[in-house]
Chain A
Amino acid sequence: MTDTQQTPRTPQDFESAVARETAVASFDTHEKSPLERIRHFLHSSPASVPLIVLVLSLVIFAVIVGSRFFTPFALSLILQQVAIVGIVGAAQTLVVLTAGIDLSVGAIMVLTSVIMGQFTFRYGMPVELAIACGLALGALCGFINGVLIAYLKLPPFIVTLGTWQIYLATTYIYSANETIRAQDIEANAKLLQFFGEKVPIGGATFTYGVFIMIVLIAILWYVLNHTAWGRHVYAIGDDPEAAKLSGVSTKRVLIAVYVLAGLICALAGWVSIGRNGSVSPQIGQFANIESITAVVIGGMSLFGGRGSIMGMLFGALIVGVFSFGMRMYGTDVQWTYLIIGVLIILAVAIDQWIRKVAG
């Protein structure tokens, strides 16, 4: 670039500026080491690590457990077991992308499932209406979280630590710790168990719960990657101040994220009735931890703005494959927890390493 600093500017100057732009702007594309190239690849496709780990774990169990493991039936069973974590994990994904965390997901799930059951059986409400009430309540729970976080600017961890207790206590008080039996539901309100219905395809057995998880994740993937709203969710988690200055209505998007998360948890509540058959206030004790585990192993950053919902699905599946595979292998279940623990720490370490691309 020529430094024609103090000369008066003419149109010719402007043209020569345009002509030399390529020289000015070419970004340094210096030779990258293989390691750097890997890092850039992982940076641009965050779901690839969990996908590789998932494939590896499938291969490992196919080898050590043998052909029993690698059947359509066994694999579809893993999907059935993962369905609820996958759905709650989708809610957690939205929240984590905004650099938040939602500890109340499991509590919302239980509360709404109890409401769907009790409204049907205690008040004789049409089951469709009871389900709608449960879904609406889930959205309301999320709205409360969202208002406290977006408008009162309280930290998401603290807010949802509080509402977790509140929603759970409400569940116990309201239900009087009472379970609605599976036979009663089957006889009078079959719709509550809809997502537990089995759909055999070939040798595999799926449930509607598996399908709804896949559909939900596919929709959210589309929304997060191909709509303006999705980009705004990422931008808020990345740098909320920058997002606001570049014209994102941060508060409105945050509220919407928590409302949507609450609604998805209520959907998980409905699916959980199908999975358990009965309605019990005792389920879902660890749903928050399990969903956070799926999100972290799935390569999403708890600092927000990074990761893919597909990664979360792979993370949930990795946990599912390990729990199922270890059980088939016939070893102490504690080994599963040990390995999951190692995977969590590895995932976070890799996340930190990938982020150094920025530096």
Chain B
Amino acid sequence: MSREPILTARGLVKRYGRVTALDYADFDLYPGEVLAVIGDNGAGKSSLIKAISGAVHPDEGEMTLEGKPIHFRSPMEARDAGIETVYQNLALSPALSIADNMFLGREIRKPGVMGSWFRMLDRKAMETKARDKLTELGLMTIQNISQAVETLSGGQRQGVAVARAAAFGSKVVIMDEPTAALGVKESRRVLELIQDVKKRGLPIVLISHNMPHVFEVADRIHIHRLGKRLTVINPTEYTMSDAVAFMTGAKAPPPS
């Protein structure tokens, strides 16, 4: 890959007491690519993307976005910088509506005095936009937009979380196991969604344990092991069982 990476991390360390979740981990994401991150349970994949998305503060290490150093103090700052994340636990508020959830933390206010003085939310605008986004992504029928998220099925919730990230991400979209809770059909839909987002030119980080999914959509595969990047492989040059062997330590990684 000749271009400069859009997002990099060098020497990230994150310790939780005696557990070292990230042990001098490196990371590179290139423009327009789908980068899969795979690794055993507890390898530190979620910790890695949480550090990138501002949800945890690494103890050591540096990150850059488009060549400029970044130090996110909260998920909000990462979002403002254009990095959207679908967390493993989805981060939706069950009792709030689909529209409220999609706009949580970036609500639209009414124009004029009602908005600036009385801070009134523009429900209509938010619902219209949410509906447009979900329809565009083929995830929702129209009448359901003000329904509480907790009344949705697991797959539908996942759809809302993915749509939220896809709708607002302007530089990078990160998805932590977006198909974990989904059936075959819904997983397929999310994979299509990843392709759609990629077509819009956005790079995507996909964390997944599902090797067929990974090999279907990924341009490169970042293998994480024991808190650090073990290697990065090209899915056309290796098989799934190779990847699993590297990931579990059964086989030595190729020299990179």
Contacts of B188 in A (CB 8 A): 1, 3, 5
What is the bound-complex CA distance between A229 and B121, given in angstroms? 10
- In-complex Cβ contact of B138 among A25, A231, A305, A306 (8 A): A25
Q: With A227-B119, A228-B119 in contact, is A21–B138 under 8 Å at CB?
A: yes
Q: Is residue A124 within 8 Å, beta carbon to beta carbon, of the partner chain?
A: no
Q: Is residue B135 within 8 Å, beta carbon to beta carbon, of the partner chain?
A: yes
- In-complex Cβ contact of B95 among A226, A227, A249, A305 (8 A): A305
What is the bound-complex CA distance between A241 and B85, given in angstroms? 14
**Is the CB–CB distance between A247 and B90 below 8 Å?**
no
Q: Is residue A132 within 8 Å, beta carbon to beta carbon, of the partner chain?
A: no
Contacts of B148 in A (CB 8 A): 43-44, 357
**Is the CB–CB distance between A249 and B91 below 8 Å?**
no
Cβ contacts B112-141/A at 8 Å (1 or 0 each): 000000111101000000000011111111
**Is the CB–CB distance between A18 and B141 below 8 Å?**
no
**Is the CB–CB distance between B139 and A25 below 8 Å?**
yes
Q: Interface residue tally of chain B, by bracket?
A: 35 or more
Q: Number of A residues contacting the other chain (C-beta, 8 Å)?
A: 43
- In-complex Cβ contact of B199 among A14, A247, A358 (8 A): A14
Considering only residues 144-191 of chain B, those with a C-beta below 8 Å from chain A are 144, 148, 150-153, 156, 159, 184-185, 188-189
Contacts of A241 in B (CB 8 A): 89, 91
Cβ contacts A84-98/B at 8 Å (1 or 0 each): 000000000000000
**Is the CB–CB distance between B101 and A246 below 8 Å?**
yes
Contacts of A247 in B (CB 8 A): 74-76, 79, 104-106
Q: Is residue B93 within 8 Å, beta carbon to beta carbon, of the partner chain?
A: yes
Cβ contacts B199-238/A at 8 Å (1 or 0 each): 1000000000000000010000000000000000000000
**Is the CB–CB distance between A25 and B140 below 8 Å?**
yes
Contacts of B109 in A (CB 8 A): 228
Q: Is residue B96 within 8 Å, beta carbon to beta carbon, of the partner chain?
A: yes
**Is the CB–CB distance between B75 and A245 below 8 Å?**
yes
Contacts of B150 in A (CB 8 A): 357-358
**Is the CB–CB distance between A226 and B140 below 8 Å?**
no
CB distance from B113 to the nearest CB of A (A): 14
Contacts of A242 in B (CB 8 A): 89-93
Contacts of B89 in A (CB 8 A): 241-242
CB distance from B204 to the nearest CB of A (A): 14
**Is the CB–CB distance between B75 and A227 below 8 Å?**
no
- In-complex Cβ contact of A231 among B107, B139, B144, B196 (8 A): B107
What is the bound-complex CA distance between A21 and B131, given in angstroms? 13
Cβ contacts A186-229/B at 8 Å (1 or 0 each): 00000000000000000000000000000000000010001111
Q: Is residue B26 within 8 Å, beta carbon to beta carbon, of the partner chain?
A: no
Total A-B contacts with CB atoms under 8 angstroms apart: 123
Which of A5, A27, A246 has its CB near the most chain B CB atoms (within 10 A)? Answer: A246
**Is the CB–CB distance between B151 and A239 below 8 Å?**
no
Q: Is residue B87 within 8 Å, beta carbon to beta carbon, of the partner chain?
A: yes
What is the bound-complex CA distance between A241 and B55, given in angstroms? 10
Q: Is residue B94 within 8 Å, beta carbon to beta carbon, of the partner chain?
A: yes
CB distance from A172 to the nearest CB of B (A): 41
Chain B: CB-nearest residue to A250: B74
Q: Is residue B248 within 8 Å, beta carbon to beta carbon, of the partner chain?
A: no
Contacts of B159 in A (CB 8 A): 25
Q: Is residue B192 within 8 Å, beta carbon to beta carbon, of the partner chain?
A: yes
Contacts of A239 in B (CB 8 A): 92-94
Considering only residues 231-248 of chain A, those with a C-beta below 8 Å from chain B are 231-232, 234-235, 238-239, 241-248
Q: With A5-B188, A21-B138 in contact, is A246–B152 under 8 Å at CB?
A: no
Contacts of A18 in B (CB 8 A): 136, 138
Q: Is residue B195 within 8 Å, beta carbon to beta carbon, of the partner chain?
A: yes
Contacts of B140 in A (CB 8 A): 25, 27
Chain A: CB-nearest residue to B192: A17
Q: Is residue A122 within 8 Å, beta carbon to beta carbon, of the partner chain?
A: no
What is the bound-complex CA distance between A247 and B141, given in angstroms? 27
CB distance from B216 to the nearest CB of A (A): 7
CB distance from A253 to the nearest CB of B (A): 11
Contacts of A27 in B (CB 8 A): 140-141, 144, 152-153, 156
Cβ contacts B79-90/A at 8 Å (1 or 0 each): 100000101011
**Is the CB–CB distance between B100 and A231 below 8 Å?**
yes
Contacts of A231 in B (CB 8 A): 96, 100, 104, 107, 121
What is the bound-complex CA distance between A247 and B75, given in angstroms? 6
**Is the CB–CB distance between A246 and B119 below 8 Å?**
no
Contacts of B120 in A (CB 8 A): 226-227
**Is the CB–CB distance between A246 and B75 below 8 Å?**
yes
What is the bound-complex CA distance between A248 and B93, given in angstroms? 11
Q: Is residue A67 within 8 Å, beta carbon to beta carbon, of the partner chain?
A: no
List chain B positions with a Cβ less than 8 A from chain A.
Answer: 55, 74-76, 79, 85, 87, 89-96, 100-101, 104-107, 109, 118-121, 123, 134-141, 144, 148, 150-153, 156, 159, 184-185, 188-189, 192, 195-196, 199, 216
6 additional A-B pairs beyond A1-B185, A241-B91, beta carbons within 8 Å, are: A24-B139, A235-B96, A247-B105, A248-B104, A248-B105, A358-B150
A-B pairs with lowest CB-CB distance, top 8: A247-B105, A21-B138, A245-B91, A358-B150, A228-B107, A247-B76, A242-B91, A235-B93
